[in-house]
Amino acid sequence: MAKTAYVCVECGYRTPKPLGRCPGCGAWESFREVAPTPPRREAPKEASLLPLSRVEEGEEGRFSSGLAEVDRVLGGGFVPGEVVLLGGEPGVGKSTLLLEMAKRMGREVYYVAGEESPGQIKLRARRLGLGELLLLRETRLEPLLALLERQPPEALFVDSVQTIEAGGSPGSLVAVREATGAFVRFAKATGTAVVLVGHVTKEGVVAGPKSVEHAVDATLYLETAGVYRVLRSAKNRFGPVGELGVFRMEETGLLQVKNPSEAFLLERPLGVPGSAIALALAGERALALEVQALAAKTPFPAPRRVVQGLEGRRVDMVLAVLERRLGLPLGNLDVYVNLAGGLRVQDPGLDLAVALAVYSAVVGKPLPPDLAVVGEVGLLGEVRSVMGLERRLREGERAGFSRFLHPGNTRGLKEAVERYLE
């Protein structure tokens, strides 16, 4: 007789008895009892090999989401059978984004409404100018799949996966995992593109077992950046990772921002110390962004280092290079560094802009308003090459800048400072 087993819903670790903490992934209270699997009566089918030369080369054609910014993040639109996990804070605009895609996609879309009533969705759809939409109020997994398999749509939006009843109470780790797995199998079998909306935790990641993110083809996050909404790809099997799509939330819905550089530099002050324009790269997209710095005398024994929108450890490294290689006195100063506009970008190419913004703030001398910079700063004070330099420089020219500091014309940080800040 088969014995009962316990499985960690986070990583799949099996044990004959429940444990408080999983030895595999370290998760607490993550074990669930699973029924013993009866022995197979039929002989298993023999495995077979498939030579790569026999695989058909025809790539499945993508189709547009109806929004150019979403297509950019996806890598060119939806791939038939693709499963996308969309996460974001409550109220950020996930449901609005789905309705905008349903409005513009021009394909048969089913919308599983688990979060809102049909009346609420109709009010929102009317505000967005959406005429017709096929709603599904069923949140039990088996009846829902039975309907979908009889009439598979071209696209399926599930809002949200935490409301689906599957193998446990809705929102539980088991239910989320089982529902996600079922939707993935359905998408691969029918070619339906599926978007699953997921709640996020206080850490900013999609709630549920980690196996959910492994199962889907792409994980996207919709985030707030000031008055804008930024769609960012954290995982993408069919496109670049880290790509950004920018929207502005208006009464009539989400409006696409065609020129993010212009939008994020619109309120930039000129002739003020502590400001430097960086040519950043987010996925395949080049952006001109403002790095702001402020230095103030500290009342504390240990000066504060506050960073927003940038990688804190890289900023600490740049500050150490400024103090050690250029002799900039920072030991008694609180230093604040911010990427204006509310964006979050991890790009070594912003090092030079951070260094010049901080140096400018400390000495009280502004950089030229027509100057844009890009480059990684090494520990020896050198300016190192970065990916996509030509693309960044073209974006700088398009944004109206005429002077540039980059690894091609600047060998070291000291040279850059002597040229513009001394």
pLDDT digits (tens, 9 = 90+) for 109-119: 999 999 899 99
Question: What totals of helices (H) and strands (E) does the chain contain, helices first?
Answer: 11, 20
Phi, psi of 292 (to 5 degrees): -110, 145
Q: CA–CA separation, 366 vs 316, rounded Å?
A: 22
Helical (H) or strand (E) element with 354? helix 351-363
For the stretch 338-368, what's the b/e string if a residue is b when 16 or more beta carbons lie within 10 angstroms of its beta carbon? bbbbbbebebbbbbbbbbbbbbbbbeeebbe
For the stretch 72-90, what's the b/e string if a residue is b when 16 or more beta carbons lie within 10 angstroms of its beta carbon? bbbbebbbbbbbbbbbbee
Q: How is domain 262-420 classified at the CATH fold level?
A: Ribosomal Protein S5; domain 2 (3.30.230)
Confidence class for position 5, pLDDT limits 50, 70, 90: confident
Domain 68-258 has CATH 3.40.30.10: no
State the average pLDDT over residues 389-404: 96
* Average pLDDT taken over every residue of the chain: 90
pLDDT in tens, 65-101: 999 999 999 999 999 999 999 999 998 999 999 999 9
pLDDT in tens, 231-247: 999 999 999 898 999 99
Least confident of 44-58, 209-223, 297-311, 393-407: 44-58
- Give pairs for 231-237: CB < 8 Å, separation 24+: 231/69, 231/70, 231/73, 231/97, 232/73, 232/282, 233/73, 233/74, 233/283, 236/73, 236/74, 236/75
Domain limits of the chain? 1-37, 68-258, 262-420
Q: What interhelical angle do 118-128 and 94-105 show, nearest 10?
A: 60
Are 116 and 139 spatial neighbours (Cβ–Cβ below 8 Å)?
no
Preceding peptide of 160 cis, ω within 30° = yes
* The pLDDT of residue 7: 78
* The pLDDT of residue 41: 60
Q: What is the DSSP string of 76-87?
A: SSBPTT-EEEEE
Q: Which residue has the higher pLDDT, 169 or 120?
A: 120
Q: CA–CA separation, 115 vs 365, rounded Å?
A: 53
* The pLDDT of residue 410: 94
Computed from CA positions of residues 194, 195, 201, 204, in that sequence, does the dihedral angle turn out positive or negative?
positive
